[in-house]
Amino acid sequence: MKYKVSFVGYKLQYQNLKNEIDDAIQGVLSRGDLILRSDVESFEKNLASFLGVKYVVGLNSGTDALIFSLKAAGIGKGDEVITVSHTFVASIASIVHIGAKPVLIEVAEDFTMALEKIEAAITPKTKAIMPVHLNGRMCHMEKLMELSQKHNLIVIEDAAQALGAKFNGKMAGSFGLTGTFSFYPAKILGALGDGGAVATNNQDIAQKVRLFRDHGQKTKTEIVCYGWTSRLDNLQAAILNVKIKYLPKWIKRRRELAEIYTKNLSALSGLKLPPAPDANPEYFDVYQNYVLKAQKRDELFEFLKEKGVETLIKDPIPNHWHKGLSLSHFQLPYTEQLAKEVISLPLYPELTNKQAEYVMECLKDFYIKND
């Protein structure tokens, strides 16, 4: 189906950067620089500078960034890690993959971890907290870090959806022992395939992650541990080096579009909007997604589809309800309710004001008719 307003702008972004991206690809191929070459090193330095951290290690996915962070921190079998169910399944899967037990708690109104639920979830086996910065908004990291220090818990930030977001001026991914990022194409900074990274100020953690990503090879002739194949592809790194230059501009545009949506949709009684840009000076949101809580959500989705507006209903079944994940013992009523209500509107830097206006007209039409 061809939409009047698509949910993502892959083709438009490529068209806008075509010459630079094509040059970067041709440069990599003409040099034969394919695995762990200078483009990866440059990207790691560029991202570290952007985040204000000492070390970044490029990986093949945000999922491996989480797994390697937990493993490098010494978390394993028998340990418990507190996180949320209202997230992409990779957050939870990373805990399971290293032999630990995920302990799931509720999220707050802004979809980030409900901090008041943390202490009740702590047991003698709890070793870490994994806050998930969702939709471009950070958890209240000052309170979370206070709790983690009080209980001597490691913090691993899942910042896959929050690159560029800040809390009191400090970047997502720079508070915990590590911050983890994804460069899946739909992310704010997206590759043309999969990619990820670990950010940290801890040299030992950075070195362990580097070993994990490349079969435990310290040098070509010295293997110090068992590892994996999880290297950020040099070709993808070259593309990301082109795109990262535009990241501040793209974040600014996302915030502009969020302001447009917020200003024009706030009067609709059937919708609960995300926090507006600058509504709280502690938060600098980057709007990876513009997520609504909507009455008659499923009907709205079909209505917008008929009108040519592509939206996304993410995780209509809560993670802890999937039988194959063996998490059904968690009772999370607010998370379960969110699965019935949330819907994401199109929001990406290439989206025009005219397209946003059409989306808003359709929303108003739906709720006026169903009032």
At 1 the pLDDT is 76
pLDDT in tens, 179-202: 999 999 999 999 999 999 999 999
The CATH classification of domain 248-369, taken from the options 3.10.20.30, 3.90.1300.10, 3.90.1150.10, 2.140.10.10: 3.90.1150.10
> CA–CA separation, 312 vs 292, rounded Å?
11
CB-CB contact of 43 with 68 (8 Å): no
Which residue in the block uniquely carries the two structure tokens 């762990």? 36
CB-CB contact of 311 with 301 (8 Å): yes
pTM (2 decimals)? 0.96
pLDDT in tens, 95-113: 999 999 999 999 999 999 9
> CA–CA separation, 145 vs 65, rounded Å?
20
Q: How confident is the model at residue 2 (pLDDT cuts 50, 70, 90)?
A: confident
Six-digit token string for 83:
């996180």
Smallest Cα–Cα separation from 109: which of 301, 229, 228, 273?
273
pLDDT higher than 70, residue 371:
no
Burial class (CB in 10 A: 0-12, 13-18, 19+), 318: buried
Smallest Cα–Cα separation from 312: which of 325, 300, 296, 295?
300
At 356 the pLDDT is 98
Longest dimension (CA), the chain: 70
Alpha helices in 153-295 (DSSP H): 203-213, 234-243, 247-265
Contacts (Cβ under 8 Å, ≥6 apart) of 333: none
At 312 the pLDDT is 98
At 220 the pLDDT is 86
Six-digit token string for 286:
């980057």
pLDDT higher than 70, residue 328:
yes
Which residue in the block uniquely carries the two structure tokens 């989306």? 359
Domain boundaries, the chain: 10-245, 248-369
pLDDT higher than 90, residue 273:
yes
DSSP 215-247: TTEEETTEE-S---B-BPBHHHHHHHHHHGGGH
Q: C-alpha 283: how far from its chain's center?
A: 16
pLDDT in tens, 204-263: 999 999 999 999 999 989 999 999 999 999 999 999 999 999 999 999 999 999 999 999
> CA–CA separation, 14 vs 198, rounded Å?
26
Six-digit token string for 255:
């915030």
- Measured in Å, how far apart are the chain's first and last C-alpha atoms? 29
Smallest Cα–Cα separation from 130: which of 75, 51, 59?
75
Work out the mean pLDDT of the chain and round it to a whole number: 97
Average pLDDT over residues 38-65: 98
- Establish whether domains 10-245 and 248-369 are of one fold: no
pLDDT higher than 70, residue 296:
yes
- What percentage of the chain's residues is helix, strand, coil (to nearest 5)? 45, 20, 40
At 209 the pLDDT is 98
**Level-2 CATH architecture, domain 10-245:** 3-Layer(aba) Sandwich (3.40)
Burial 160-180 (b: 16+ CB within 10 A, else e): bbbbbbbbeeebbbbbbbbbb
At 369 the pLDDT is 73
Backbone angles phi, psi at 185, to 5 degrees: -50, -30
CB-CB contact of 40 with 87 (8 Å): no
At 68 the pLDDT is 98
At 98 the pLDDT is 98
Please calculate the CA angle 330-336-341 and round it to the nearest 5 degrees: 165
pLDDT in tens, 57-84: 999 999 999 999 999 999 999 999 999 9
pLDDT higher than 70, residue 366:
yes
CB-CB contact of 27 with 242 (8 Å): no
Backbone angles phi, psi at 287, to 5 degrees: 55, 55
